[in-house]
Every structure is written in structure tokens, then in C-alpha cells.
């Protein structure tokens, strides 16, 4: 295999000279690396990227079925007093697990997989329907 162009013929002496230059560069790099290794403090552990431990969800105690129903009635009462924003505030203030338990306890057909915005909208629609029916 030829490493040089066909039209320029190198003599063996020139090839050896080029190889020696490259070996000198390699030797210089190895010396630099050796100096950097000498700077390492053997007592100090090497910094390694550690995986951060997963944050565990805070387990807040869930209200009882009766408490969820009471919260529902208070929320509905505030909603009917021309305060529809109370539903969105309630949803934003609670976790999806809490909202799922709230919906189940009050027989609301709302899926927990929905975004909080959609959950708030659906609860608001549910309250609006209930308000219209009970007039």
C-alpha cells in the first residue's frame, strides 16, 4: 500500500525522518500525559458522575371518602357563588394521585391520565351541568 502520491517519490531516508518526527511528537504527548498524572492526588478520589437518587414522591395522607365528599361540596359551593377559578386553583394545588382519589370518591368520570388543565376543565363542566340541573 502506498502512503504517498505516485508523482512524488520519497527516499527511505525521508520516510525514516518523517517517522522520527512523528515519534518525537508522540513522545512529547506521552511526557505531557505523565506530568498530568503526577498532579493527581492519590488521596483524593476521582470525581465520577453519580446517578442522582430518584426523588420519592411525598406520601401525603389521603383524606377519607367522607372528607373527599365534604371537599367536593365546599368546592361546588364556591363554584356556584360565581367563582369558577376555584376549581383551577384546587387542581393546581394537588397532586394527580390526590385528584384521582378525589374524582373516584365523588364518582366523577375523569381519567387521572389527563393533564391538570383538562382535569380542571372537566370538573368545572361537571359543576356547571350540576348547577344547571339543580336550578
pLDDT digits (tens, 9 = 90+) for 45-72: 666 666 766 666 667 788 999 999 999 9
Report the helix count and the strand count for the chain, using DSSP H and E: 5, 0
| Buried-exposed string 12-25: b where 16+ CB fall within 10 A, e elsewhere | eeeeeeeeeeeeee
The sign of the CA dihedral 6, 12, 14, 15 is positive
3-state secondary structure of 17: helix
Distance of alpha carbon 126 from alpha carbon 47, whole angstroms: 55
pLDDT at 37: 81
Rg of the chain on CA atoms, in Å = 36
10-residue mean pLDDT series, the chain (135 residues): 60 92 93 87 69 67 91 92 89 90 90 86 90 84
Q: What string of H, E and C letters represents the secondary structure of 65-105?
A: HHHHHHHHHHHHHHHHCCCCHHHHHHHHHCCHHHHHHHHHH
How far, in Å, CA of 94 to CA of 56, rounded? 16
- Residue 28 has a pLDDT of 93
Residues 6 or more apart whose Cβ sits within 8 Å of residue 116? 91, 92, 96, 99
Cβ atoms of residues 112 and 102 within 8 Å: no
Amino acid at each position: 500500500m502506498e502512503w504517498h502520491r505516485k508523482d512524488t517519490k520519497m527516499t527511505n531516508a525521508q520516510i525514516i525522518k518523517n517517522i522520527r518526527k512523528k515519534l518525537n511528537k508522540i513522545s512529547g504527548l506521552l511526557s505531557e500525559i505523565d506530568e498530568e498524572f503526577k498532579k493527581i492526588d492519590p488521596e483524593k478520589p476521582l470525581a465520577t458522575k453519580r446517578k442522582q437518587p430518584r426523588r420519592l414522591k411525598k406520601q401525603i395522607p389521603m383524606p377519607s371518602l367522607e372528607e373527599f365528599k365534604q371537599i367536593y361540596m365546599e368546592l361546588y359551593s364556591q363554584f356556584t357563588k360565581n367563582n369558577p377559578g376555584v376549581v383551577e386553583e384546587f387542581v393546581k394545588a394537588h397532586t394527580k394521585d390526590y385528584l384521582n382519589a378525589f374524582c373516584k370518591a365523588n364518582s366523577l368520570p375523569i381519567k387521572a391520565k389527563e393533564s391538570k388543565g383538562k382535569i380542571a376543565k372537566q370538573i368545572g363542566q361537571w359543576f356547571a351541568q350540576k348547577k344547571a340541573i339543580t336550578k
